[in-house]
Each structure stands twice: as C-alpha cells, then as structure tokens.
Structure 1
C-alpha cells in the first residue's frame, strides 16, 4: 500500500491511502488521524489500512478524490528521529581519493551514520529555503526506510522485520558550511537543514522483486532544471543494507516507531550512471580534469527526484522542488 499526508488537520497532516498509480486517494483518519499514529499502533492499523488500499484498487470508494501533489505534506511532516547513513562507498572512496586520502578499513565493516533533522520535513512540492547561495546548496537523492518500534540491540535479521515503509528523501546539504563544522569534531548542524520526503511512503511488498536483500533495486533518477543528472542503481554498490543500518542505529538505544533511516547519497562505481548530488559530480570532475566544473545550485533551480519501476511507473511519486532564498527575519 501507499500512504501520504494532506496539508490539513494540524502540523502532522491527515493520513491518506493512495492508489497504486498515484492518481486517487482517500482519507484514512477513521483508522488513524496521522501516519505517526498509525505507526504507533502498526500491528492493528496496518491490516485496516491495507484493506482500504485494496478497496481503492478494486474500484471507487466513498470519499475518494483525485490526488493533487501540491496538497501533500511530507508523509511524516515531522518524526521522532531521522538517522542518515552513508552506505554507498563508491561516493566515499571518490571524495577521499580526490583529496589524496584513503578510506579507513573500518568504513567497510562499520556504517557511517549521523543524527539528521527530524523536527520538520518539506513536502514533495515545497520550495527549499536557503539564506544564501554562498552556502553551497546541494541535493542528496537517497532511499529512506521507516520503522516501527525497534528494541535496543537487535540483530540485522531481527531489524529487517521492523522495516515497515520505504520512500525517497532529498537530504539537502550546504556544502560550503560543512568543512568548518567537521573541523570542530562535533558533526553536522548548520550545514544540514531540513530534508524533503517523497509524496508517498510504500510498504516493501509494493516494490515486488525490486525489494530484495533489504535494498531497493531500482535507479535513482534525478533531473536538474529538466536535464538528466543521474540514475545510479540503488541496489548496486550499497555496502550496508537497510537491516544492517537499522541494527547499527539501535545498537545502544531503542528506536521509536516512525524513525527514518536513510541510505546516504546513492552512487555507483560506474560514473556513466551520473550522480545523486553535486558533490559527487564535482568530485568526478576533479578526478578527471583537476578541478570541479559544475557550480552548486542557485536560486530558481529545480530538482526532481524519482524512482520508476520496471514498467516505467513512478513508485513513490516525484520530489520536485525549487531552490528559493529564505525571507529575511
């Protein structure tokens, strides 16, 4: 099933079930008013939501309406936790090679992960607001999973059973702020603002055979201002699968229902498949030409992030956002 949230009913939106072709929806507030409430009681809510999804696929249902992407908030407008990994080591390897550094051996056995912003997510058509182009505005096209309640210390095999939803995220980065922050030795803060989620989150069964090995085996398709930017395969070159990432996050703490776990920027060894962020593209240019040639994003630029199934149908809907200057004050 596919789930989204309308921009109504308060800060956490109103839960809707969405048709497989993303054309129709029906409010599910009779089951749970918000997606977070559904996740809090997932074992009871999920069968009822699934029954509503099956009815929507079978034909018209009472209260259904044509889906307007502009009316959608993020499926989880805010969440208790968002932890983001860096599971695609080709990206890490290239970035380090460009500055003459080696990848530590530990990176191949111990996932990189940081605590990201979860207090608010952009909707799939909301503008990305940034104070200055000088910050080095970048996108990061990633896959994200959402869990139910995960006990502390789960194994990867156990963690796999706690992955309930899958979606996309544009993990916005401000690249020119990152070096000074990392130099402090205390991680990201100002350089990692709010991210955007795809129009819908889907249960893993919606992906069919594209969901295997706790990975999504589909290309991550990104366009900038209508021009192809990249389509690396999210199931290739992913060093740690989502079960491993969830288990890593839960090593010393339980994870609350509604926790998001990100994959990190999707990247392949094959650079002909393009990039999922400007930092990656600029790194490849540095390795090939001795310097980056492509600037970071400017105000007015539009980014579109999407995944198509093997029949060319959009799985999660598209994140499509314009970069805008944040109002002063």
Structure 2
C-alpha cells in the first residue's frame, strides 16, 4: 500500500490510500487517521481488507500535502551510515550504528518551507530513507525486524552544521530546528517497496544535482538498524528512524556549499516519491 495525508498543519487531515492508478482515496471511514495510535490499533491490517476502489476519491484540491503519518513520539537518526559518505567525510566506517535524535518538532510535510534563522550560517541537506515503526519493538532479532516496520518514507534530514559540529555538545542541536525533517509524500509498506536495500536516491539544489546514491551502500541495512536499536530502547508505533545519507552533502564539498534564503531543494527515492522545499527567512 501507499498511504498519504492532506490538510493544514494545525488542522484535521484526510488519510488517503493510493489506488492502482495513483488516485488518492479517502480512508478516514476505515482508520480515522494514520498515526501512532491507529498504527498500534492495527490500521494497516484494516486497510488491507479494503479495496481502495471502493473508497471515495479524496477532496484534496488546494490542500497541503502533510506527512504521511501523524506526529511521531520519537525521531531517531543514524549517522555515517553510507560507506561512500564516510569516505567523503574522511571518517572511519563505524563498527556499530551511530545513534542520535532529532526533536519531534522538526517533523513537517514534504513540501513545507525550510526555515532560515538569522543565527544560522552552515545550513545543509541530506536525502535519507526513513523507517516508520508499525508495532512495538524491544529486543527483536534482525529476522523479526520487518514485521515491526509499517513502511518507508523519503526524508530530508536538514542540518545546521555550525551548530552540529562547531558548538559544544552532541549533534542533536544541529538537527532540531523546526521544519528540519520534511517527510513524505507517501508511506510505502514493505510488501509494496520491493528490495528496500537497493533504492536509488538523489537531491538537487536549484536544479543542480548534489547527491546521487543507493540504499545498497548503507553500512547497516534497515533490518539491522531496527534490531540494533531495539536492544537499547522500545521502539513505538509511529516512531521515525532516519537511516543516513549518501555523499554529496554541502559540508563535504570543496569548498563547502551552504543553503541560503531562496534556494530550492528537490529530492527523491525510487518508489517513495519526491519532495520540494524553499529556504525562507524565519
């Protein structure tokens, strides 16, 4: 299945299932919404028993494209998870996944603006595969991991590098400004995506290709990440995991390239759709 949502940031959302022709069908009569609560209550199983063609065409004209899942409780991240990105950064391949967090307030729609604060100086981009947890995961094996995954999403893990690298403390401060986690446009379930560890990915700034990669160069694949994290924490329905980025980030260029007001960022992953954001003053 491919799931999406429409609606204003602070208003009610229309949860939709895309039919065989890519038409958004209103699924609110079946699940109410897609989010941590409905996922925990078996929303995906309910939808699997419904023919999308039997649902009404959603009234989405002029409506904002929202994240495909309602606000997650937690946003987790994996750093330096692409072998070619680690080489670009001049860093050793980590022996275990490097884990950190983004504030949940970073969560926004796939085409929402990237906010530029006057205190920023090194704003950067990162196209990433996102994992959405479907049911609680604690101390699970790699073989069990896919059963705990609701689906996969496209993410731009926006980062302010001066705050992340040059200020004291952990990476979280460079990752947690509002709208630093554009997510969507669709949530694609594991049965629909095919081989999630072989997806092409790309990102452009103002029409110039910056990142070209493939999830096949991930050091730790999706199943390994979920199993590994479940050793240390209980992953909850709706939790989002950002799994790292391929080479081509602004920080890795010589000289570095940073986003500025008015820049347009577009990105995509095979089967997961595309995003478009404009950098605007706060």
- The structure in which a higher percent of residues are strand is 2
Q: Structure 2: how far apart are the matches of 1:65 and 1:28?
A: 8
Given the two structures, how large is their TM-score scaled by the length of structure 2? 0.88
Q: Structure 1: how far apart are the matches of 2:20 and 2:59?
A: 13
Aligned length: 278
Q: 1:11-160 maps to which residues of 2 (within 5 A)?
A: 13-20=13-20, 22=22, 24-36=23-35, 37-42=37-42, 45-52=43-50, 54-56=51-53, 61-65=54-58, 71-86=64-79, 87-95=81-89, 97=90, 103=92, 107-108=94-95, 110-132=96-118, 134-160=120-146
Q: Structure 2: how far apart are the matches of 1:175 and 1:306?
A: 22
Return 5+ residue gaps in structure 1 as ranges: 268-274, 286-291, 309-314
Q: Structure 1: how far apart are the matches of 2:8 and 2:162?
A: 36
C-alpha RMSD of the superposition: 2.4
Q: Structure 2: how far apart are the matches of 1:242 and 1:204?
A: 11
Q: Structure 2: how far apart are the matches of 1:206 and 1:140?
A: 24
* Residues 120, 34 of structure 1: alpha-carbon distance in 2 compared, 3 angstrom cutoff: farther
Q: Structure 1: how far apart are the matches of 2:215 and 2:153?
A: 12
Secondary structure of the corresponding residue to residue 76 of structure 2:
strand
Q: Structure 2: how far apart are the matches of 1:113 and 1:239?
A: 13
Given the two structures, how large is their TM-score scaled by the length of structure 1? 0.77
Return 5+ residue gaps in structure 2 as ranges: none
Q: Structure 2: how far apart are the matches of 1:29 and 1:114?
A: 34
Please state if 1:304 is matched with 2:266.
Answer: yes
Aligned to 1:295: 257
Instruction: Quote the offset at 1:10 in angstroms.
Output: 5.2
Instruction: Quote the offset at 1:7 in angstroms.
Output: 1.1
Aligned to 2:176: 192
Q: Structure 1: how far apart are the matches of 2:138 and 2:52?
A: 37
Q: Structure 1: how far apart are the matches of 2:8 and 2:47?
A: 19
Contact 1:77 1:122 survives alignment (8 Å): no
